[in-house]
């Protein structure tokens, strides 16, 4: 089997002004921690909410943080992101696989990274959706790249996670069902990568696993009932590391891949960090 690792970061919520330091430092620390891993991952995925509240001035901050970063980085749009500003800053660059769309595929020697855009502007801009056109594109893209495992990335989880406030803002159930039907046709899908929740969570989905990454900035309180008001807590930051193995299918298990996910601590740790 051939192993390839992918670092999965999420929800940096970059801003400008007097409160800019903490979210920027959190993302910078996480990116540095990725560089300390051996072997280094094939790439980094950041699953949305790149900036906070759609502020266009946050994207130049992100561009500056990523300038000179030695690994490929793939950006996904979240409900806080501004599509025009995101494309104005990163369109045609390696951060969107040299394209001008917020859904795209990036092929690496051991894995294909497929990025979807689950954000929407109406009627509920906080919730997620995947229209028929994007799902057809995903189906065709997965069918075209069957020679290696695939990671499908989006911001909103397609499953409930037990936090009522956030479960009301996941991918719409009918769209999640359509996504599950699409994924089930492609057993080389090793993981579904998501963000949005600001907590590390895993759940079964369509014969594979949804892996939700914590935020590089701050985490969501574990409010698992409606009576408990949701808020943010300054729990340690982290990211996920997905170790993907390309394996030989068997009659009993037609999957082309296996995947192990590690949670990598960033803050509150004496672990080494890389510089860039």
Q: How confident is the model at residue 115 (pLDDT cuts 50, 70, 90)?
A: very high
**C-alpha distance from residue 222 to each of 47, 161, 162, 195, 219 (Å):** 20, 10, 9, 15, 9
Tell me the mean pLDDT in the region 200-210. Answer: 97
List, for residues 20-54, the tens digit of each pLDDT value: 999 999 999 999 999 999 999 999 999 999 999 89
pLDDT at 123 over 80: no
User: Does residue 160 contact residue 82 with C-beta atoms inside 8 Å?
Assistant: no
Report how far residue 142's alpha carbon sits from residue 68's, in angstroms, rounded to the nearest whole number.
31
Tell me the mean pLDDT in the region 215-238. Answer: 92
Q: How confident is the model at residue 230 (pLDDT cuts 50, 70, 90)?
A: confident
**Does 14 or 123 have the greater pLDDT score?**
14
User: Does residue 270 contact residue 240 with C-beta atoms inside 8 Å?
Assistant: no
Nearest Cα residue to 152 out of 127, 171, 166? 171
The reported pTM is: 0.95
Tell me the mean pLDDT in the region 162-181. Answer: 96
SS3 259: strand
**C-alpha distance from residue 183 to each of 100, 150, 265 (Å):** 25, 10, 30
pLDDT at 233 over 60: yes
User: Does residue 37 contact residue 72 with C-beta atoms inside 8 Å?
Assistant: no
Query: Per-domain residue ranges for the chain?
Result: 2-265
List, for residues 53-67, the tens digit of each pLDDT value: 899 999 999 999 999
Q: Token pair of 243, please?
A: 């170790």
Q: What's the pLDDT score for residue 124?
A: 67
pLDDT at 246 over 60: yes
Residues 6+ apart with CB under 8 A from 268: 236
pLDDT at 164 over 60: yes
User: Does residue 53 contact residue 81 with C-beta atoms inside 8 Å?
Assistant: no
Nearest Cα residue to 72 out of 91, 97, 92? 97
pLDDT at 253 over 60: yes
Q: Which CATH number fits domain 2-265: 1.10.760.10, 3.20.20.140, 3.60.21.10, 3.40.50.300?
A: 3.60.21.10
Q: What's the pLDDT score for residue 268?
A: 83
Tell me the mean pLDDT in the region 252-273. Answer: 83
Q: How many CB atoms lie within 10 A of CB 198?
A: 26
Q: Token pair of 13, please?
A: 């919520």
């Amino acid at each position: 089997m051939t192993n390839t690792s992918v670092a999965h970061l999420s929800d940096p919520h970059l801003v400008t002004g007097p409160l800019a330091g903490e979210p920027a430092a959190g993302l910078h620390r996480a990116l540095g921690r990725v560089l300390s891993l051996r072997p280094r991952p094939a790439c980094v995925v950041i699953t949305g909410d790149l900036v906070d509240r759609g502020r266009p001035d946050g994207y130049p901050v992100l561009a500056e943080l990523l300038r000179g970063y030695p690994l490929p980085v793939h950006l996904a749009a979240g409900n806080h992101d501004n599509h025009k500003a995101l494309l104005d800053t990163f369109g045609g660059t390696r951060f969107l696989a040299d394209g001008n769309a917020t859904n795209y595929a990036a092929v690496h020697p051991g894995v294909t990274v497929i990025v979807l855009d689950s954000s929407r502007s109406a009627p509920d801009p906080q919730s997620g959706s995947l229209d028929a056109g994007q799902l057809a594109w995903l189906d065709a893209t997965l069918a075209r790249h069957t020679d290696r495992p695939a990671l499908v990335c989006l911001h909103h989880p397609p499953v409930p996670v037990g936090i009522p406030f956030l479960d009301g803002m996941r991918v719409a159930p009918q769209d999640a069902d359509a996504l599950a039907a699409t994924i089930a046709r492609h057993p080389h899908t090793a993981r579904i990568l998501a963000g949005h929740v600001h907590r590390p969570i895993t759940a079964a989905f369509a014969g594979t696993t949804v892996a939700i990454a914590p935020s590089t900035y701050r985490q969501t309180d574990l409010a698992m009932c409606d009576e408990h008001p949701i808020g943010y807590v300054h729990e340690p930051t982290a990211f996920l590391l997905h170790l993907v193995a390309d394996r030989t299918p068997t009659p009993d298990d037609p999957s082309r891949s296996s995947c192990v996910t590690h949670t990598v601590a960033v803050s509150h740790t004496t672990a080494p960090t890389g510089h860039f």
